[in-house]
Amino acid sequence: MSTDSSTDEKTKVSHFIRNIVIADLSSGKHQSIKTRFPPEPNGYLHIGHAKAICLNFELAREFSGLTNLRFDDTNPAKEEEVYARAIEADIRWLGYQWDELCHASDYFERFYDYAVELITAGKAYVEELSADEMREYRGTLTEAGRPSPWRERPQEESLDLFARMRTGEFPDGAYVLRAKIDMASPNIKMRDPAIYRIRNIPHQRTGDAWHIYPMYDFAHCISDAIEGITHSLCTLEFEDHRPLYDWVLDNISIAAHPQQIEFARLNLDYTVMSKRRLKLLVDEGLVDGWDDPRMPTLAAMRRRGYPPQAIRNFAELIGVTKSESIIPLGVLENEVRNELNQTAPRAMGVLDPLKIVLLNFPEGETEWLEAARHPQDESMGKRKVPITREIYIERGDFMEEPVRKYFRLKPGGEVRLRNAFIIKFVELMKDENGEIVEIRCELDPQTRSGMPESNRRVKGTIHWVSAEHGVAAEVRLYDRLFNVENPLADKQRDFQEFINPDCLSKAQAIVEPSVFAGGENFQFERVGYFCFDSKDSTADKPVLNRTVSLRDSWAKRGQ
């Protein structure tokens, strides 16, 4: 159910969940499928969520099914409406539109009724052991649990207490409702799990109506069943919750029984991916908000200039399996690069400007050169690039004492100015500190476009920007947020200690005016892909984010 059909034409890579869907449709188990994406609105979505979103929406799209967005809003202590709105925006940005927008909180009354059903059937009871005592009774992996003294409490008594828990008669923690399953089960999740707890706090959507809230394992399966979800896809850590998912649905009067299927979560290196930890980075001011372009959130990736298509391609590329792995961040960046290489118009920008004076170019004049917006895609047309007597080149594109095989500008040397002509070094000017402030060159008019030597070859081509027409802009260069592959590996230290001190650097660049003509992303030739920062950039003070470099410098560093 996507608004964008661009991935439709691709041949789908199959995976085990897709095979289950195909089998269920061909056996007639289901006439059509329905999936859901069930975020808890307690933070912003990250790239891990994108994997789950793409999986659910793409499956439904491929098999003409439906996908719900369901807010799993059963823990009011941590949830906020701003997060819910941000989640909706991120899913739309990724290119998906849900069929129904649902909230677990809309089902509170039904959850309650099903809990009453369980109590009435002798399959749930109100517990009054403390949390610590419950833990002690629960046993361990090698030792069976013991039944609570309240396990055989009469049903009428549990019903009465449960009704009073609901209306707020008791403090938090005084009672919980437990499913009565099997205290000796080898699966600890099945040892009479709590299904309701008292929380005397208002809910962002139901206000003061409730003083008890259902636990995930009780609410999730029932929500799936109520909505008629056929395949309930979740990450591997829910594998041992599955017997409980099935138990609840088998023991209440609901006909539907969705199938829970687990897949491996996405892990990326050099970052962390849990809303709780990301929130810590935001709350401690270690990053500039959830959408700080260094964050692994979708909001950050959007702000940084990642095209949503690149994220969808990445999700497709990494596939869906049952084995955990850590994907190098470079794999995602490569998808961003591949996508932008095809779609981003070209321009020139100089990040560390060094002034060049073209001695034989008339003072006060501007010549408008023509250049392709894209080297392969002619449909993008041409752009006008102004050149003047004074231009800027990258400081790194000149060497006074060149190393061997240095093909850019050097004393006595020649170099081609990209989209223009060849220039020849004449002299250099230094200030009192010995720093080069200006290089004087002559252009070779025979190498202008249309002139006999326009194709004359020199070994180096460099980018440049007219000093008069170039626009000053702040550029923000991002690197890995953490300087270790797994910031959580060292249990003795806080992951925040591993933040890469060089993850953000800023420069004052001079950029070609054509970048202000519209379009979201562009490539500064030889430099990288950039976009305007949606938060901080203004017409007077443009701010550019480097989306991704042209090449993977981490691969080169042998990381």
Residue for token pair 């490569």? 334
Choosing from 18, 146, 265, 395, the catalytic residue is 265
One of 60, 84, 226, 234 touching ligand ATP (CB under 6 A): 234
- The listed partner (ligand ATP, Mg ion, none) that binds 51, CB under 5 to 8 Å by sort, is ligand ATP
φ, ψ for residue 370 (rounded to 5)? -110, 135
For helices 16-26 and 47-62, give the axis angle rounded to 10 degrees: 30
Residue 537 binds which one of ligand ATP, Mg ion, none, with CB within 5 to 8 A depending on kind? none
Cβ 82 vs Cβ 50: under 8 Å:
no
Out of 70, 231, 275, 389, point to the residue binding ligand ATP (CB under 6 A).
Answer: 275
Our CA angle for 176, 214, 198, nearest 5°, is 40
Q: For ligand ATP, which residue of 51, 211, 337, 383 counts as binding (CB under 6 A)?
A: 51
38 binds ligand ATP (CB under 6 A): yes
CA–CA dist 318, 300 (Å, integer): 21
Q: Which residue is nearest to Mg ion (CB)?
A: 40
Q: In angstroms, how far apart are the furthest CA atoms of the chain?
A: 101
Structure tokens, 319: 């596939």
The region of 45-53, 116-124, 324-332, 483-491 touching ligand ATP under the rule CB under 6 A is: 45-53
E strands in 339-482:
346-347, 349-350, 353-358, 367-372, 382-387, 390-394, 414-417, 422-430, 436-443, 461-462, 464-466, 471-478
Decide: is 52 part of the binding site for ligand ATP (CB under 6 A).
yes
State which residue, 38 or 305, has the beta carbon closest to ligand ATP. 38
The reply on whether position 40 binds ligand ATP by CB under 6 A is yes
Rounded CA separation 213/201 (Å): 10
CA dihedral 72, 76, 79, 84 (to 10 degrees): 50
Listed residue (488, 478, 496, 41) closest to 281, CA to CA: 496
265 noted as active-site residue: yes
Which range touches Mg ion (CB under 5 A), out of 39-47, 226-234, 454-462, 515-523?
A: 39-47
Q: Which stretch binds ligand ATP (CB under 6 A): 271-279, 343-351, 387-395, 458-466?
A: 271-279
**Does residue number 273 form part of the binding site for ligand ATP (CB under 6 A)?**
yes
Residue pointed to by tokens 């449709």: 25
Residue 450 DSSP SS3: coil
Contact partner at residue 234 from ligand ATP, Mg ion, none, CB < 5 to 8 Å by partner kind: ligand ATP
Q: Angle at which helices 216-227 and 108-120 pack, to 10 degrees?
A: 110
Q: Which does 321 bind (CB under 5 to 8 A by kind): ligand ATP, Mg ion, none?
A: none
Q: Which stretch binds Mg ion (CB under 5 A): 33-41, 288-296, 432-440, 529-537?
A: 33-41
Nearest-approach distance from CB 294 to Mg ion, in angstroms = 22
| Alpha carbons 552 and 382: distance in angstroms, whole number | 29
Tell me whether residue 189 is one of the annotated catalytic residues.
no
List of E strands, 3-135: 34-37, 66-71, 101-103, 124-127
Q: How far is the CB of 40 from Mg ion (least distance, A)?
A: 5
49 binds ligand ATP (CB under 6 A): yes
When the beta carbons of 297 and 334 are compared against Mg ion, the nearer one is 297
Give the shortest CB-316-to-ligand ATP separation in angstroms. 14
User: What are the backbone dihedrals phi and psi of residue 224, each rounded to the nearest 5 degrees, phi first?
Assistant: -55, -45
Please report the DSSP string for 278-290 in residue order.
HHHHHHTTSSSST
Q: Tell me how far, at minimum, the Cβ of 235 lies from Mg ion, in Å.
A: 10
332 binding ligand ATP? (CB under 6 A): no
> Mask 54-83, x = binds ligand ATP (CB under 6 A)?
------------------x-----------
Give the integer Cα–Cα distance in Å for 17 and 321: 9
Catalytic residue, chosen from 34, 36, 166, 275, is: 275
We find the least distance from the C-beta atom of residue 339 to ligand ATP, in angstroms, to be 21
Rounded to a whole number of angstroms, the minimum distance from the CB of residue 38 to ligand ATP is 5
For residues 456 and 422, the answer to whether their CB atoms sit within 8 Å is yes
Work out how close the CB of 277 gets to ligand ATP at its nearest, in angstroms, rounded to a whole number.
Answer: 8
CB of 195 to Mg ion, least distance (A): 18
Q: Helix crossing, 47-62 with 81-94: angle to 10°?
A: 60
Q: Of the listed pieces 33-41, 142-150, 350-358, 526-534, which binds ligand ATP according to CB under 6 A?
A: 33-41
Helix (H, G, I), strand (E, B) or coil at 201: coil
Q: Which is nearer to ligand ATP, 19 or 274 (CB)?
A: 274
Q: Does 242 bind ligand ATP (CB under 6 A)?
A: no
Catalytic residue flag (residue 275): yes
Catalytic positions are: 40, 265, 275
The residue ranges that bind ligand ATP (CB under 6 A) are 38-40, 48-49, 51-52, 72, 234-235, 265-266, 273-275
